[in-house]
A = this chain, B = another copy of it.
């Protein structure tokens, strides 16, 4: 979807391009900001401008709306640049999926560019070309809250194809909201990886002074080009400094803060490694790249849900699905009053998994009677596995086991480091 014709006419009459500063006069308010490229999922009559505070807002424009050019910053069309090639260097593929990381400016000139291609994204951090050759493609351009299981499947195929066509590693710029879910899905869908698959996001877009986009992308490229790991990982800022990025295992990582750059946390396990001023350190045992070819196994059962338990939950609040992940309280509990409903659903064929809303720690349903009653009813406890990972794995396992017992065995078998043996608690107290 593009801008409506009348918006394009207005902008064209002003010679206003994305990156220029414009003023929009609406009946209720006036806005001044940087003209942003049209987002493919916005309505045609929406104009997006970036305000001084760094936030983008979408404004409904009609034919009468007055738009003025305040400052011309973008002088001419961006020239097509050729990606340099150096045959002595490894080649990585960047597969774009959208998200904050894909809205960028050239961080030296400050000019805003639409991330119409992953190539643009690579050019926004030209140090990348010192490290490796880059091939780019765009899988889709989505805010990650709009990414659906179908998109995981598309992405898995593209990654396999990239690795089977000679890429040392793959970098996937991705929205942060559901990056953990995608990383978990890819961890189960991709087999015999011949190199690293690195998901990377940004909490703040490149036109904000505190942006983490360039650093995260550069370090993700470093890890992909190094080619040491045969796993799906997620890379984001390790702490509040700009020097370090963490390498998180794809099945154990979770967005644990809405806005901080170090929002991503490895749960129940230490981080796999980190990059500090360009130096990669791997701290844990990891899977080495295989000889390939990379294969995909992407079948998913989509009749699965996550349920969050709370006091006052009623039996009818637990829906009939082929699979359910319950985020129970504490060690993996729900109210005794709900056990008959759970039992009924399991008898009807549902596979029901118990995770904990505590997020951290191990589910253990043998300690209290409520847990034992649930086990007796057939609920499967998943030890240290994240609820989000359990959800993705259950979708996958339901298409891979023919009987309840096979599905249970699959869920309890550690396939991609999703069930850390020990637990580590990463919460800091004040």
Contact = CB atoms under 8 A, between A and B. Distances in A.
Interface of A: 39, 41-42, 46, 55-58, 143-149, 152, 176-178, 181-182, 238-239, 246, 255-260, 262-263, 265-266, 270-271, 302, 304-313, 317, 319, 327-337, 356, 358-364, 366-370, 372, 388, 391, 395, 424-430
A422 to B, nearest CB: 12
B148 A335 contact: yes
Contacts of A329: 144-145, 177-178, 255
Contacts of A362: 258-259
Nearest to A271: B430
B367 A55 contact: yes
A270 B58 CA distance: 36
8 contacts: A41-B336, A145-B335, A145-B370, A146-B335, A147-B311, A256-B359, A270-B430, A271-B430
A266 B430 contact: yes
The 9 closest A-B pairs by CB, nearest first: A258-B361, A428-B428, A177-B330, A177-B329, A145-B333, A257-B361, A308-B308, A257-B360, A270-B430
B146 A336 contact: yes
Given A56-B367, A257-B361, A368-B143, A427 B265 contact: yes
A352 to B, nearest CB: 15
Contacts of A263: 358, 360-361
A369 B310 contact: no
A356 to B, nearest CB: 5
A363 B257 CA distance: 10
Contacts of A359: 256-257, 359
A364 B327 CA distance: 25
A285 to B, nearest CB: 16
A55 B366 contact: yes
A256 B263 CA distance: 16
Given A329-B145, A360-B257, A372-B57, A265 B429 contact: yes
B57 A181 contact: no
Given A310-B388, A430-B270, A256 B146 contact: no
Contacts of A334: 145
A143 B364 contact: no
Nearest to A334: B145
A335 B408 CA distance: 30
A310 B391 contact: yes
A256 B360 contact: yes
Contact of A305 (B57, B255, B259, B313): B313
Nearest to A266: B430
Nearest to A205: B367
A225 B331 CA distance: 32
B312 A304 contact: yes
Nearest to A307: B308
Contact of A310 (B305, B360, B361): B305
A330 B255 contact: yes
A369 B143 contact: yes
A317 B42 CA distance: 25
A361 B369 CA distance: 35
Contacts of A152: 311
Contact of A149 (B41, B311, B317): B311
Given A145-B370, A369-B42, A181 B358 contact: no
A360 B258 contact: yes
Contact of A57 (B259, B335, B358, B366): B366
